[in-house]
Chain A
Amino acid sequence: MIRGDHTFIRGTEQDDVEALYQLYMSGEIRAGLLDVRREPLLPTRDDLRDLLTRKEIADGTFYTVEDCVGHIAGFCSLRGHNAESGFIEYILEFSDTDDYASPMALEAHAFLLERAFTRLRVRKVLAHAVSGEQALTAFLQSVGFHSAGIQREVVFAQGDWHHLETLVLHSADLAVTGD
C-alpha cells in the first residue's frame, strides 16, 4: 500500500469488485474501460471477480485508489508493457470526474509514473480518452501529456459516435520540466 497525503493506493482485491462494477455501470463512455476492439464492456460481477484472479492482476498491475478516509475513489493501472519499444499504457479512472482536479489524481499519477519510468524503465506512457472525457483529458494535459492524434468515430455508444484521443508522456519531457 502506498500512503499519500490524500490517497491510499493498493493492489485491487476481490472485495473491490462492487466498486469496479459500479464504474462500468456508470453509463459514461470511458476509454480505460473499452476492450481491444474499443467496445464498451458490460461485465457481470462474476466476470470482474474472474478478471481480478488473473495472474497479471494478482501480481499487481491494477490498483485501487482510496481517498484518505478509505472510500474507493477509482482505479489505476499500467498495461500492455512493450519492453523492446519502451512504452506502456496508463489508465486512471475516477468514479467522480471532479476527482481529476483533486490532489488524489496527482498522487495516483505520480504513483503510476514511478512504476512506469523508474521500475519498468519505459520511455513513454500512452493514455487514451474518448471525446466526452474532458476532465481526464484536461488532467492529462495539465501533467504534461501531449496529444498524438485523435482517431475519429471509433466508438459507437449511446446513439452517437465518439472520437478517441491518444496522449503521450515521454520520460524525457519530465526531465526537462523537472517534474
Chain B
Amino acid sequence: MALTTQTYIRRAERDDLDTVVAWMEHEDFQRFLYGDPARSPKQVREKIVGMLGRAVGHTMPGGIYLLIDSPTLGPLGLLSLQNISWRNRSCSIDLYIGKAEHRRGLIAASAIYQTLEYCFHELNLHRVAAYIYAFNTASWRILEKTGAQRELVLKDHVAREGQLYDLYGYGLLRSEYDAFRAQYERSAGGFSLETMIEALRKAAPESGG
C-alpha cells in the first residue's frame, strides 16, 4: 500500500505540460473526459495549455488544476476543480489517472479523498459535484463510497464511438462528507488520509473500482 500513502496532490505547473499533453493523447482521456470529436487535437492541447498556464493571481480562481504525484512513480494523474462558485461554495471535479493500471486501485481513491479534504476543509466548500459517464464504473463507485448521491441521470446523453451513454450527476454535501470522515475516524482510531484509506482497503479490498 506504499503507493497510496505516498501519493499526494499539488498544483499543476507549466513544467507538467509535457506529461499532461502525453495523457491527453490517450484514447481514454478523450473517452472519459474531454471527448468532443469536433475539437481538434490542437484545440484540446490549447485547452490544457490554458489550464496549466493560467497565472496565479490574487483573485480567487474559477478553476484549480492539480497533479496527482508520487515520489516513486512520478506524476500519476490530473485532477481539476471546475466551475468553482465562491458564492454557492461549490465546484465540480474531474479526475484522470494517466496509467491505466492505477485506475482501479487505491491511487484513484486516495486522490479523490485528498481532493475532497481539500475542497471541504481547505476551500471551505459546501458541495462538490461530479459528472461521470455511466460506463466509467470505477469512478462513480469510488465517489459513491464517500457518500456522494447520484442526483441526476441523463439517459443517452453522451456520444462515444457512435453510441449513446447515460450521464450521472453526483453531489456530495459537506455534512455527508463529514459523516463519512467521522465513520472512518471511529473505525481507524483517529482521522488521517492514510488511516482512512487503510480502513477502506480492509473493508473492501476492491475498493478502487
Chain B residue with the shortest CB-CB distance to A35: B85
The listed residue (A38, A39, A152) touching B173 by CB distance below 8 A is A152
Chain B residue with the shortest CB-CB distance to A161: B126
The listed residue (A39, A83, A84) touching B88 by CB distance below 8 A is A39
Q: How far, in Å, is A173 (CB) from chain B's closest CB?
A: 11
A86–B165 Cα distance when bound, in Å, is 12
User: Which residues of the partner chain A approach B129 to less than 8 Å between Cβ atoms?
Assistant: 151, 154
The answer to whether B152 touches A85 (Cβ under 8 A) is no
Apart from A39-B87, A152-B173: 18 A-B pairs, beta carbons within 8 A: A36-B83, A37-B84, A37-B85, A37-B87, A38-B85, A84-B159, A85-B156, A86-B159, A149-B150, A149-B169, A151-B171, A152-B171, A153-B171, A154-B88, A154-B90, A154-B171, A156-B87, A168-B155
Interface residues of B (CB under 8 A from A): 36-38, 62, 83-85, 87-90, 126-127, 129, 149-159, 164, 169, 171, 173
The main secondary structure of chain A at its interface with chain B is strand
Q: Residue A121 at the B interface, CB < 8 A?
A: no
User: Which residues of the partner chain B approach A87 to less than 8 Å between Cβ atoms?
Assistant: 157
The answer to whether A156 touches B169 (Cβ under 8 A) is no
Interface residues of A (CB under 8 A from B): 36-39, 83-87, 123-124, 126, 148-156, 161, 166, 168
User: Which residues of the partner chain A approach B90 to less than 8 Å between Cβ atoms?
Assistant: 37-38, 154
